Amino acid sequence: MPELPEAETIARGLERALRNRVIESVEIRRRSNVIAPWGMRVDRILEKETIAHVGRRGKYVVILLGSGRRLIVQLRMTGRLLVLRPGERPPPASHVVLWTRGGEGLAFADVRKLGRVRIAGRHEAWDEALGLEPLAPGFTVGAFTAMLAGRTTPVKVLLLDQRRIAGIGNIYACEALWEAGIRPTRPAKAVSRAAAQRLHRAIVDVLTRAIELRGSSIDDYVDADGDRGGFQDALRVYGKRGMPCPRCGRAIVRTVLAGRGTWWCRRCQR
């Protein structure tokens, strides 16, 4: 599932290609539940709107429209947002296609139909259930330490809780915990202040490097131009079961924690 770096990479690509473009027409190519709420006439609402800005919130791509409405896209497992050049045909499994006056298009394609496209009103607080942005100024060591305090939840499970930190998923939680040398199953409240500082630094570092390499293409993810990311080649532990730990050489193990595969080093992450 695309996480913060992938959503950020896609948003930046869409911003470069489509900012200030006017939506001339909208194709709803497949009537399915990817459009939420079901039955909303997205085509009528979006026609003649201007794409004012494309950004991100957590794992969501957020397209700000000239009216103040926002088009919120949740990619989930196989969703893709792809820029179409003039004359280019939408890819298979496209559900919604926006065409601009300049001829460019934006296609939302999703083979498994797990992604969602919805329109949020100008004053709608659609993201109030999402937590802190880990690359924003508000994500301080103090705020992170307070988040851990008193919680018996395993620290990795807490990192995946979008109500506390928005955008971290399984890949980057595993990588940050390895970088900080913290066992994934350790109760959050048992993480020392020094370890919390290391983990805070590791979260920011891992996410920043992943964005620089345009995300991780492990399965279906591609950016707005259809290109694969590069961070999958820089992963240290995720998906590396049985391979030597880059730090100590011991074999990486895979365990299941709260239903999620978790890769880590028993020697380095004590």
- What integer is the mean pLDDT of 130-137? 98
Q: By C-alpha distance, which of 174, 180, 157 is closest to 252?
A: 174
- What integer is the mean pLDDT of 220-229? 95
Task: Give me the catalytic one of 3, 6, 49, 175.
Answer: 3
Task: Give me the catalytic one of 151, 247, 254, 260.
Answer: 260
Query: What are the pLDDT digits (tens) for 55-72?
Result: 999 999 999 999 999 999
Q: By C-alpha distance, which of 256, 246, 135 is closest to 200?
A: 135
Q: What is the pLDDT of residue 39?
A: 58
For residue 83, what are the contacts with CB-CB under 8 A and spacing of at least 6?
Answer: 13, 14, 17, 18, 104, 105, 106, 224, 225
> How many Cα atoms are found within 13 Å in the side-chain-facing hemisphere of 100?
20
59 is catalytic: yes
What letters, b where the CB count within 10 A reaches 16 and e where it falls short, cover 157-186? Answer: bbbbebebbbbbbbbbbbbbbbbbbbbbeb
Q: What is the pLDDT of residue 36?
A: 73
Query: What are the pLDDT digits (tens) for 71-106?
Result: 999 999 899 999 999 999 999 899 999 999 999 999
Per-residue pLDDT at 46 exceeds 80: yes
Helix (H), strand (E), coil (C) string for the chain: CCCHHHHHHHHHHHHHHHCCCEEEEEEECCCCCCEECCCCCHHHHHCCCEEEEEEEECCEEEEEECCCCEEEEECCCCEEEEEECCCCCCCCCEEEEEEECCCCEEEEEECCCCCEEEEECCCCCCCCCCCECCCCCCCCHHHHHHHHCCCCCEHHHHHHCCCCECCCCHHHHHHHHHHHCCCCCCEHHHCCHHHHHHHHHHHHHHHHHHHHCCCCCCCCCCCCCCCCCCHHHHCCCCCCCCCECCCCCCECEEEEECCEEEEECCCCCC
The encoded tokens of residue 164 equal 């506390």
Per-residue pLDDT at 31 exceeds 90: no
The encoded tokens of residue 227 equal 């290109």
113 is catalytic: no
Q: What is the pLDDT of residue 219?
A: 84
Residue-level length of the chain: 270
pLDDT band at 110 (very low <50, low <70, confident <90, very high): very high
Q: What is the pLDDT of residue 43?
A: 80
Task: Give me the catalytic one of 57, 59, 70, 80.
Answer: 59
Domains (ranges, CATH) in the chain?
4-120 (3.20.190.10), 141-264 (1.10.8.50)
pLDDT band at 38 (very low <50, low <70, confident <90, very high): low
Q: What is the pLDDT of residue 34?
A: 85
Q: Which residue has the higher pLDDT, 28 or 197?
A: 197
Task: Give me the catalytic one of 2, 5, 134, 154.
Answer: 2
2 is catalytic: yes
Per-residue pLDDT at 51 exceeds 80: yes
3 is catalytic: yes
The encoded tokens of residue 147 equal 């988040």
Backbone angles phi, psi at 84, to 5 degrees: -105, 130
Kindly report the average pLDDT of the chain as a whole number.
95
